[in-house]
Amino acid sequence: MSERVLIIYGSRFGHSRDVSTHIAKAIHEAQPALQSTIIDIDDAKGSLNGTGLSRYRAVVIAASVQYGHIDKRVERWVKKNLSYVQQIPSLLVTISLSARKFTDDTPAPEEHTYTSKFLDHTGWHPDRIEIAAGRLEYPRYNFFDKTMIRFIMHISGGVTDRTSTIEYTNWDRLTDVAKDFVQLVENTNSEN
């Protein structure tokens, strides 16, 4: 019988949604009995509450960093549903341009200020945390965002060419993260 994994994402330009889709596919490939339901945080706010959540076997939260904070909508949702997300196997994936600097293994959350602040603010202790590099898409940004992101990239030694689109995400690594998470879900299953 198939079981469902809940994936909630908070995204501005769709990259966290793409990350969520990738993780859902990798989870299903690693364990065909696990199917994911992917929900935009804007829809999660109204449609999911205590009882609606109880049907899920595990939860993944994927959220991008915008101007120094992991998506505030996601932060509020996690705070509100903390007892639920603490009860089942959980994975947090944060997505940002600053994470492009971590080229090898994922760093400890303390090494990534946005992620550690999110954990402090929510009080959540996810079973797994992945700090993933995001996508730079200058042509899609409005004037203000373009100026700000160019400034952020400039001070961190990154690309400032306003025509650039660069994907820094390590998709193979996300596949491995999803596989590892499936293992955790299965182990938790067998312990129950």
Ligand X SMILES: Cc1cc2nc3c(=O)[nH]c(=O)nc-3n(C[C@H](O)[C@H](O)[C@H](O)COP(=O)(O)O)c2cc1C
Contacts with ligand X, residue ranges (CB under 6 A):
11-16, 64-68, 95-98, 134-136, 141, 145, 149, 152
CB of residue 63 to ligand X, shortest distance in Å? 8
CB of residue 182 to ligand X, shortest distance in Å? 23
| Dist CA 121 CA 190 (whole Å) | 32
Residue 183's identity, in one-letter code, is: Q
Q: Tokens for 18, please give them.
A: 């793409």
CB of residue 186 to ligand X, shortest distance in Å? 29
Q: Which is nearer to ligand X, 12 or 79 (CB)?
A: 12
Judge whether 184 and 89 are in contact, CB under 8 Å: yes
| Dist CA 152 CA 155 (whole Å) | 5
Residue 160's identity, in one-letter code, is: T
Q: Which is nearer to ligand X, 44 or 65 (CB)?
A: 65
Q: Which is nearer to ligand X, 167 or 186 (CB)?
A: 167
Q: Is 14 helix (H, G, I), strand (E, B) or coil?
A: coil
Q: Which is nearer to ligand X, 97 or 182 (CB)?
A: 97
